[in-house]
Structure 1
Amino acid sequence: MSSVHRPSSRSIRPAWRLGVALLVAAAAGCTPTDAVVGPETEVPEIGTVRVLPESAQVTVGQRIRLSVDVRDNQGRWLPNERITWSSSNTGVATVDDSGAVQLVGTGLVEIRATTRGNKGATARVAAAPVPVATVRVSPSSTSLQAGQTLTLSATTLSAADSLLPGRTVTWTSSNTTVATVDAAGTVTARVAGSATITATSEGVAGTAALAVTALPAPGAVSTLAATATSDTTVTLAFTDAGNGLGGPASYLVRLAAGTSISWASAAAPVRGTCASAVTASALGGAVSCTIRGLSASTAYRFLVMAYRGTVGTDAVYGGVSNTASATTAQAAVATVTLSPASASVVAGQGTTLAATARDAAGTVLTGRTVTWSSLNTAVATVSTSGVVTGVAAGSTTIRATVGGIAGNATVTVTAPPAPTVASVSVDPRSAAVVIGQTVTLAATARDAGGAVMAGQTATWSSLSPGVATVSSAGVVTGVAAGTATIRASIAGITSDASVTVSAAPTAAGFANEPAGFIALGQWNNATTFDVNGWYDDGNPSGWGGKTIVTSGYAGTPRIGGSRVTQTLYRGGVEGGHDAGRIQFDLPANTNELFFAAEVQFKADYPTSTSSGGNKQFFVTFSGGGRYFINMDEGLANGRWGVYVGSSPLADSNIPVVYGQWVKVEWYLNRNTGNGDGVMRLWIDGVLALNLTNLTFPTGTMRMAYDDGSNNGNHLVEGDTRSIRYVHGATVDAYRWTSALYVSTRQP
């Protein structure tokens, strides 16, 4: 703000002008004796300008007047100069054209007076706020319960009782044990008692009286319950037990895993809204909070306790609540991993996978049900316990599912390697054969586990080809008397069998054949035309009824091509059925009979003392009854005996020779109905038995070479019928018969 003051010389009388000059001079501190340049004087050059006072401190709202002292270069006062006034900050002070300054705001301002030639000067004016004269606190007195709060207000006033807003107020309590007050004037009641709350501004204080009463204790919660659970959380709910006094209560929560809980030993929650104090929104209102971070599949017990006030200082407590219980759910499965994640297995073999379920936090979940499946069962299958079995070469995915979440593993199945031969066995391990005769051996390959390996072909060789040869099929042929080792080789693995070869006897005539006898049938090494009277009679199901014995059994024959019958008694086998029998029907009315044969028992042939064992030669009669030469029935081991009917003759205890051919000759002469019959037996041409006065049965005679009896041993190895073993035997027993001969004297 500025103004211009220019007095008019024409309108002022000299005497009046002198008076004004004196007034200005007086105002400027001049005296009447100071030189004054009047209007009649030439206008001098301005030398100095001063604003008086040069500085001042004034309260906002007050008004002051400034004056100007203008002098020329000789120091003479120039009262009639035109003055222009201005303020550097009209927000702090304004100035009118008379130099009157009005303070409108706090701060520092410069008031400038400018005259001719832009000569001028300034005064610095500091505007101070109106001082506080009174502080008034509202309410001036109040009462609170411990724990309650109240915000007080402080009003600052000037001496004129005007409001002084924006002044700084400091709050204090005379007794912070009873009540505290913060910088905003909020009072917190602590414990019962009294305190003075003071508000101070610019050294002026105002007070309020406060009375604090004790809090009423809340009640005990009786409605605590667990209302919701998950695998890691439990939500509790109950009704406020504030007793209708002092507002709703706050609550502490405690928990314990298991089936029992006490407040003293229980733990406070560390996660969830139950971890901090829970306050009801209204007296008797519903309260709830959630505990987090619990263990899955775990039983918990819970308690709450109501309180008012501040825990650790002025809190008052209610009783312990009822107990609530809850069991957290199983943790949800987040991932399933299989170990190993990839595996290889040979077809036919197995490998085991393991499935591990984890929750979202990576914690392993135990006790969960795992469902296993193979996405390609043609390649591999999997059991309910995770055992994978290879089926065929290829690759498949094995899947384990837990709680609806699946994990996969890749299983590659490779074809099994070709089985390796670990052992070879030859059956039988020992055999006997007559020169020119054959016996068939069989080779069996087994793997390391003892399993038979089918389809393996053996390479056969004889280590003594001069004694016996062997074909590619394992058929051994006797060449010369002796013992040969026959070897079977499969995949470099060998096994041996021992084959004993013996010479077959040749027919050399029968010195004890009565003169005049006519040969009816002969079966030996040299002839084939004279066997037509012999046929099998004891095993019609195997050979067919009365099949002529010329080439042997169609299966696995033990009748050699050299007209030698071979009988094998398997060691350790027992049964009961008819054996094979080579039989010759005699002409009707035949009364005299001569029979001869060559017989050999293997050197290790076992003997028997049981009934029905090892019958050799029979003569039967159509009218019933029989005579036979038997080995060991009812006699000492290693003996032959002659039986009439079923009774042995005590004096026919004839030793048996083993390991060589023995010629047996037998003569019978019957006189039907009379007791003067004759029976003679020669062994190797020596009369071993001479019986007379025998009574023979009636009827047509039949001559038989029997390799057993009705409870005896079979002629053919491999016969499907059961075979009676030679008692006590642990080895296979071989017996050979050759040069069968029968003759008679026709009546």
Structure 2
Amino acid sequence: MTFTFKLSQRLARMRPVALILSTAALAACEQPGVSVSSPPQPGTQVVKVVVSPAAITLVPSQNQQFTASGRTEAGDSVAVPVAWSVSAGTISPSGLYTAVPTPGVYAVTATESSGSVAGTATVTITEAAVASVALSPSGASVGVGGTQQFTATLKDANGNVVSGRTVSWSSSAPLIAPVSGTGLVTALVTGTTTLTATSEGQSGTASLTVTALPPPPTGSWPNEPGGLTQYSDQPWDVLGSWALNDNAAGNSRLVTLSGLPFSSPGALQYLFPIGMTGGGGGTGPGRADYYYPSGQQPTETYVGLWIKLGSPFQPHSSGVQKFLYLTDNNGAVWSALWFELYGGQTPMRVSLVNQFTGCPSIRIDPNATTTPINPGEWHRYEIYFKLASTGTANDGVVKVWVDGVLNVSASNVCSLGRDRARLERVALSGIWGGVGETKTENDYLWYDHTYVTGH
């Protein structure tokens, strides 16, 4: 048998089998609901989801676009539909993430639509750096003795307000208006200053103008007790019943001034010349004395007067600037109650020193209100004093009002008693300082009107 014949026989036997298989496949394709699919090619199965960026640092409320792709077993990158979720913050269906306000570490997750695989990115939220500092108000004007609160608003580079940061405050002129650590400014004397708030190397500024207060309203003496007898009502155009003493240098004299608050145009002026030493040799620039009439010396008295320090004014380091004292008539030793404008720097305050004979030498400071006293300002002072009932009673009374406001009120003042002494003199004494130091400028102290009553 030849090879050709054998091959033809075999092909003949295979034709029916091939026909059957072809027919079956065709029938299967024609039947509804029956499909034929190929198994996945090796290495094409998606085994993980990759989120990009994988890690990022943001500031609160910052936006970031995330993307996701699939990775196959073979390491190929393929597009896959995903659902986005976050542990904190918000994210859109397209992967746009918005950071939360609270610093921390959070997760952004992309899950493949079948739910079988997912990928995660790490988001670190840090505090935003301060990019700008703005002060409010940006400018202000306040009268001497007043206060002004400033606030600092901190923002990041995106214009978002940031909080919880350290802010330091400073004033370009602290002697005019110092500022506290919270932005509260206190107006001491007239002038201008620039306030600066600084945080994380960024600063903002505001301006403050300190203006002089208008003089208190003129008129009568509102806190004078009833039942007292008038001794002197002195306008200082003439000396009247007063006398200038210890005035060899001529530093005490009557002058004409404009702008007097009570009885224009006459004023009593004290000059503290360059070179004057503290204490002024015990006499200062001189003084004006009023002696209560013999036989009418009171045990209680009321004194009203207006006073202004020149501006500028060089305070003594001791803080002492006397302006008045009351003496008794014990006849043996010098014995008095001093009244002072007290303070080694402005603003000053009213203060008293008890130097009555037989009594402890003590300072009596404001215990009701402290009215700030600055150079260049007129202030009205009202003083009421009553001797103690006896030398051992310590029940003397003193009250001091500044511009109608009670500053000092004490009812335990030691003095010679009313059974042994009377008040002898009102002395307008402008002694500067304690001892030592020297005036480096010509300074002035003015009195406008002095009113004395008693009983």
Q: TM-score, normalised by structure 2?
A: 0.42
Greater Cα radius of gyration, structure 1 or 2? 1
Q: TM-score, normalised by structure 1?
A: 0.28
Say which structure, 1 or 2, has more relative contact order (CA 8 Å, 6+ apart): 2
